[in-house]
């Protein structure tokens, strides 16, 4: 390979197109928490916004299955999220501990974001019902799994697995 082509290739791959987007989390006013990891994102609705919980995936822009919510994140962690007629933008806080977690206990991909020792998570089922979850035990660091229970049904527990 000629040297000038090698330099050109190196320059191209230092741009955002060749770089993975940043991983991290942020609080979304009026919704809950957004977690991003390895090209996937989870919007975790909290309180009265639990039904807004959803997974986003894709290429340069991460979207939900319906194509209604869209997230763009650059390699420095700056993000823009459009959904539910609203727009949020800001910067992700990198995960020091924690991360993004998922499980499918009732035919729907439930999720959680572990950040700064807090867990924001929801359970869902195929019918589109969402409920908050909380850890069964105290959670520290970035464990591979977290056992959680539904807040409204304490004996309904399941295990979330850390996403890459």
Each residue of 16-30: pLDDT tens digit? 333 346 899 999 999
Helices (H), the chain: 3-12
| 163 CB-near residues (< 8 Å, 6+ apart) | 37, 38, 40, 99, 100, 101, 102
pTM of this structure: 0.86
When pLDDT is averaged across residues 147-157 and rounded to a whole number, the result is 95
The CA distance from 34 to 13, in Å, is 27
When pLDDT is averaged across residues 78-102 and rounded to a whole number, the result is 96
Domain ranges of the chain: 24-162
pLDDT at 99 over 90: yes
Residue 112, token pair as written in the block: 């959680």
When pLDDT is averaged across residues 123-133 and rounded to a whole number, the result is 96
Phi, psi at residue 61, to the nearest 5°?
-115, 130
Element spanning 132, H or E: strand 130-135
Each residue of 4-14: pLDDT tens digit? 433 333 333 33
Q: How many CB atoms lie within 10 A of CB 79?
A: 22
When pLDDT is averaged across residues 128-135 and rounded to a whole number, the result is 96
């Amino acid at each position: 390979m000629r040297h000038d082509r090698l330099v050109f290739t190196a320059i191209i791959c230092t741009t955002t197109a060749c770089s993975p987007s940043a991983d991290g989390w942020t609080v979304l006013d009026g919704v809950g928490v957004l977690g991003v990891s390895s090209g996937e994102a989870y919007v975790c609705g909290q309180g009265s916004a639990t039904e807004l919980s959803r997974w986003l995936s894709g290429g340069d822009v991460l979207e939900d299955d319906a194509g209604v919510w869209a997230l763009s994140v650059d390699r420095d962690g700056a993000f823009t999220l459009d959904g539910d007629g609203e727009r949020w933008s800001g910067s992700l806080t990198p995960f020091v501990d924690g991360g993004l977690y998922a499980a499918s206990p009732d035919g729907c991909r439930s999720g959680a974001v572990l950040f700064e020792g807090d867990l924001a998570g929801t359970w869902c089922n195929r019918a589109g019902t969402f409920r908050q979850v909380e850890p069964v035990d105290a959670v520290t660091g970035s464990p591979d799994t977290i056992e959680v229970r539904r807040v409204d049904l304490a004996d309904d527990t399941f295990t979330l697995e850390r996403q890459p």
